[in-house]
Chain A
């Protein structure tokens, strides 16, 4: 039953206007500026694929490949660490659970640059880790951790772990623990239970976590710069260079468009792959 006084259009619509104007239109502008051809003075000449073609080049293919590997390995490592952690969180006692969740979220809610900075103290030549390893006699000479792929990966996992833990945790919360017991009673080994029961039923959480890590990791450029000595270029670094550079903004747009395509296709592929591998199967009874 509809009442006479309803919320007017004028009040309800701004959010939608905002989204259209400042999310979709900018993306469209990026898309079109990569395709349009202008002269020096700004006269419109027509459509061109030239700008995009500039990037079909082994140099840039390497960049995309690096970003792809970075994002994929980050997501996989996070998944391996996150699932047991989420499982533990979901099935422990209430008081302990809240404390652990609190401890998980506090770093998550602190400025991430400070965490990058914190890892300098740990991984430096005379930092915490080296001093610790030396004191227990494991090494004689300090190990060179920083400004390497290792330090990049450490920071990536460190930062993105909560993104993977939380969706899986929420999925596990709705999971009926008795199913595990039942499976165990019926003679299944833990690994079978995990593969056949738990994973399929928490699939949505796993997928969500995977994409929440994979997608932003692909475009990450700050962590490689600060933790990797900026010795490697990833998709985000290239975008940053072109967009902030002189007169190369539309080239940056072209690169962004191609990168987005690669990202989208690979993300969809992984979404499908996870489903294919772990979808709940109907029994052949």
Chain B
């Protein structure tokens, strides 16, 4: 009895999650734009999507920003964790990275904008990468540090006792053990940056558009089935990424 109502509840929740998506996908093939009802099957919106002028530039920008911010936050985050866990006082400062979750993105975005204005830093791709890296570090450091302390210290000790340097130990022992978590965290940060909206809204400036900002301008100015087609494409890409994420997750215990 409880089981049936439980199943019903789960089913309706997933229905709630997916009905809009399915409707969106269906209408990406509709001959006429919303609000016309179903008129016939067509691929023309996908064709238009391929030839939209500024869309692919925005897509490219999002890709660049996401890639760079993921790369920077991963490398600097790992370096910091490694450096801090060697001993010394720096380790206490790791706690500073947990504040990212407590501050809403809007407040961070607005503060960064103030920072940029104060120093007359021109807004654009550079400021976007900077802002997204801050976002990324808020995930990279806490997640990887948590994973790091879970690692068996005996392996590291053994390596050091056997004469390997700290750096050799890091590259040959610790890094491979951390690798699955590094990749999954990297994926997470990449997606968060790629889909990010609020931070980009305030720090991109008028000359640079990310995909989110492009979609916003399209939504603000009406309805076009091209957005449906775009959604279908992005959904497909996300599914691929989630699949990769899942196949790696089975090898690690932390998100």
A interface, CB within 8 angstroms of B = 1-7, 9, 11-16, 18-20, 22-27, 29-30, 33, 81, 84-85, 87-88, 98, 100-107, 109-122, 124-128, 158, 161, 166, 170, 190, 211-212, 215-216, 218-222, 226, 236, 239-240, 243-244, 249, 252-253, 256, 259-260, 263-264, 267
Which residue of the partner chain, among B13, B97, B108, contacts A26 with CB atoms under 8 Å? B108
9 contacts between A and B (CB under 8 A): A15-B76, A15-B79, A26-B111, A88-B10, A111-B234, A226-B220, A239-B107, A240-B106, A243-B113
- What is the minimal beta-carbon distance from A179 to any residue of chain B, in angstroms? 17
Least CB separation from B36: chain A residue:
A126
How far does the alpha carbon of A83 sit from the alpha carbon of B117 in the complex, in Å? Answer: 44
B interface, CB within 8 angstroms of A = 2, 6-7, 9-10, 13-14, 16-21, 23-24, 27, 34-35, 37, 73, 76-77, 79-80, 82-84, 86-87, 90, 93, 96-97, 99-108, 110-115, 117-118, 130-131, 133-134, 137, 141, 157, 160-161, 164-167, 169-170, 191, 194-195, 197-198, 202, 211-212, 215-216, 219-220, 223, 227, 230-231, 234-235, 238-239, 241-243, 245-246, 255
How far does the alpha carbon of A127 sit from the alpha carbon of B246 in the complex, in Å? Answer: 34
Interface of B is mostly: helix
| Known contacts A22-B134, A29-B118, A128-B19, then 17 further A-B pairs from the complex at CB < 8 Å, ordered by chain A residue | A3-B166, A15-B73, A19-B134, A19-B137, A30-B111, A107-B21, A110-B234, A113-B215, A118-B231, A121-B27, A126-B35, A127-B35, A211-B102, A219-B105, A222-B198, A243-B114, A260-B107
| A109-B191 contact given A11-B79, A249-B117, CB 8 Å threshold | yes
Chain A residues within 8 Å of B13, by CB: 81, 85, 161
Least CB separation from A219: chain B residue:
B104
Which residue of the partner chain, among B14, B76, B220, contacts A18 with CB atoms under 8 Å? B76
| Top 8 A-B pairs, shortest CB-CB distance | A12-B83, A219-B104, A118-B20, A26-B111, A15-B76, A15-B80, A26-B115, A118-B24
Least CB separation from A25: chain B residue:
B115
How far does the alpha carbon of A190 sit from the alpha carbon of B2 in the complex, in Å? Answer: 10
The answer on a CB contact under 8 Å between A30 and B93 is no
Least CB separation from A11: chain B residue:
B79
| A19-B97 contact given A102-B242, A107-B21, CB 8 Å threshold | yes
Chain B residues within 8 Å of A264, by CB: 102
Least CB separation from B195: chain A residue:
A111
The answer on a CB contact under 8 Å between B166 and A33 is no
The answer on a CB contact under 8 Å between B19 and A122 is yes
- What is the minimal beta-carbon distance from A164 to any residue of chain B, in angstroms? 12
How far does the alpha carbon of A249 sit from the alpha carbon of B114 in the complex, in Å? Answer: 8
How far does the alpha carbon of A16 sit from the alpha carbon of B10 in the complex, in Å? Answer: 43
Chain B residues within 8 Å of A215, by CB: 101-102, 104
The answer on a CB contact under 8 Å between B110 and A243 is yes
| A121-B20 contact given A7-B82, A16-B80, A84-B9, CB 8 Å threshold | yes
The answer on a CB contact under 8 Å between B104 and A263 is yes
- What is the minimal beta-carbon distance from A7 to any residue of chain B, in angstroms? 5
Chain A residues within 8 Å of B134, by CB: 18-19, 22-23
How far does the alpha carbon of A166 sit from the alpha carbon of B254 in the complex, in Å? Answer: 12
Least CB separation from B170: chain A residue:
A7
Least CB separation from B77: chain A residue:
A15
Which residue of the partner chain, among B21, B37, B161, B231, contacts A1 with CB atoms under 8 Å? B161
| A1-B167 contact given A98-B246, A104-B17, CB 8 Å threshold | no
The answer on a CB contact under 8 Å between B16 and A158 is yes
The answer on a CB contact under 8 Å between B37 and A126 is yes
Least CB separation from A215: chain B residue:
B104
Which residue of the partner chain, among B79, B219, B255, contacts A12 with CB atoms under 8 Å? B79
- What is the minimal beta-carbon distance from A114 to any residue of chain B, in angstroms? 4
Which residue of the partner chain, among B169, B194, B227, contacts A114 with CB atoms under 8 Å? B227
Which residue of the partner chain, among B102, B110, B230, contacts A252 with CB atoms under 8 Å? B110
Least CB separation from B230: chain A residue:
A114
Chain A residues within 8 Å of B212, by CB: 111, 113
How far does the alpha carbon of A85 sit from the alpha carbon of B17 in the complex, in Å? Answer: 13
The answer on a CB contact under 8 Å between B90 and A212 is no
The answer on a CB contact under 8 Å between A29 and B242 is no
How far does the alpha carbon of A18 sit from the alpha carbon of B133 in the complex, in Å? Answer: 9
Which residue of the partner chain, among B7, B111, B231, contacts A29 with CB atoms under 8 Å? B111
- What is the minimal beta-carbon distance from A246 to any residue of chain B, in angstroms? 13
The answer on a CB contact under 8 Å between B86 and A6 is yes
Chain B residues within 8 Å of A103, by CB: 14, 17-18
The answer on a CB contact under 8 Å between B246 and A101 is yes
Chain B residues within 8 Å of A122, by CB: 19-20, 23
Chain B CB within 10 Å, residue with most, of A84, A104, A111, A219: A111
